[in-house]
Amino acid sequence: MIRLSIAALFIASLSTFSVADEAVADGACIQWLDQSIGKLNSSQEHDLCALTAGKAVLVVNTASFCGFTPQFKGLEALYQRYKDEGLMIVGFPSDDFNQESDHAEETAEVCFINYGVSFPMTSVVKVKGANAHPIFKVLHEKGEPSWNFNKYLVSKTGEVIAHYDSSVTPESTQLISAVEQQL
């Protein structure tokens, strides 16, 4: 009878494992990243699900004319160092702090030409307030960006692990250690 009870408990516990949990465990898309968004300076779109499925993700709100803009160099180095181990960085340019160009071509030049960014960059979005992009509304659970170059680390299963403000550089041991724990 005890064996039957243990077996029944085991089977019951399996039934609480949801389809969403199973999909994420298998490297499928995180629900709140299952969307498309415009590519920077392009008529094409990024499929965020395809870019991020089964990966740890670092989401960064960026701006081209900010004192923190040189962090693009460190972000690119971080991406190159860990992309083959399962890190995806996605940059979201924003003019919420009045430091982004009104012209996508200029933003693209800063990112791709001046800093050699190869990780995905999206079209310009809102990252704070009621009109924030839906992704940033999820990220706000760890805190709304207070300036450009806030960084949000997301686990492979979609949990928002941490929020780092602009002063935490891509080279910081704090950020690198957290990234390595997620890989």
62 and 89 in contact (C-beta within 8 Å)?
A: no
DSSP string for 19-67: HHHHHHHTT---GGG-SEEEBTTSSSEEEHHHHHTTSEEEEEEE-TTST
Q: Report the candidate in 111, 113, 119 with the shortest Cα–Cα distance to residue 78.
A: 119
Write down the catalytic residue from 29, 49, 66, 111.
Answer: 66
Q: For this structure, is 66 an active site residue? A: yes
| SS3 of residue 183 by DSSP | coil
CA distance 21 to 165: 30
Catalytic (active-site) positions: 66
